[in-house]
Amino acid sequence: MIALELITEEIPPLKHSDSGETALRWMEEFKVEHLPVLKGNNFVGLVSEENILDRNDIEQSLDKLFDHLPRPYVKQHVHIYEILAKISDEKITAVPVLDDHENYVGVIDIKRLMQHIADTGSMKEVGGIIVLEIAQHDYSLAHIAQIVESDNAKILSAYVSSLPSSTKLEVTLKINQTELGRIIRSLERYDYIVKASYQKNTYHEDLKNRYDELINYLNI
């Protein structure tokens, strides 16, 4: 999935001549803390709720309130992982999308992005979770998948994260089975450390409930 396919049509950009008061009202309406600012079709920058509230006279236009604005953005053909990295690095709630000539195309907000991840990341699929702790030099998803598939199961999704101040990785696997005992024993026979597991229907119901709660919250 690329940036162009994740643009939120409902959120319009601000004009540089719009007031800080208008920007705050739009942020409240669209439930974001950042909005892109344009001058014509040129992307001026991203204005934040916090920056506006720091100004004394929010009735002034944005170009008078700010000499310059930060310009975080992604190009229209970048992958969803790059979008997530940009959100994490910049601590922003909306990401402007530009074309190859740096013309403004649209904006992606966290709400739409999270809904997409929840819908496509195997969140709603029946199954269980296994969390492994693995030394970086021993990590092989192909080998792990081979073990899982030898027990007539499949990996629906995998997430790998580095452990702080360590050479080990934490590998989270979503498996298409709710009974994981046999798979766990197989992994342990190959000296994999099973850090945690979540299985059976009680887990699936809890995950579904949490997913529904997340979507309800995002739709507030």
pTM, two decimal places = 0.69
Tell me the pLDDT band of 213, cut-offs 50, 70 and 90.
low
Q: List Cα–Cα distances, 129 to 117, 181, 217, in angstroms.
A: 17, 11, 24
pLDDT digits 0-9 by tens, 4-60: 999 999 999 999 999 999 999 999 999 999 999 999 889 999 999 999 999 989 999
Between 178 and 126, residue with greater pLDDT:
178
pLDDT digits 0-9 by tens, 164-204: 788 899 999 999 998 999 999 999 999 999 999 887 544 45
Domains of the chain: 3-117 (3.10.580.10), 122-218 (3.30.70.260)
What span, in angstroms and rounded, lies between the C-alpha atoms of 99 and 92?
A: 20
Instruction: Please spell the DSSP secondary structure of the chain, one letter per residue.
Output: -BGGGG--TT-PPEETTSBHHHHHHHHHHHT-SEEEEEETTEEEEEEEHHHHHTSS-TTSBHHHH-S------EETT-BHHHHHHHHHHHT-SEEEEE-TT-BEEEEEEHHHHHHHHHHHSSTTSS-EEEEEEEEGGG--HHHHHHHHHHTT--EEEEEEEEPTTSSEEEEEEEES-S--HHHHHHHHHTT-EEEEEE-HHHHHHHHHHHHHHHHHHHT-
pLDDT at res. 137: 92
Residues 174, 203: contact at Cβ < 8 Å?
A: no
Q: How much is the mean pLDDT over the chain? A: 88
Tell me the pLDDT band of 80, cut-offs 50, 70 and 90.
confident
Does 218 score more than 80 pLDDT? no
Does 148 score more than 60 pLDDT? yes
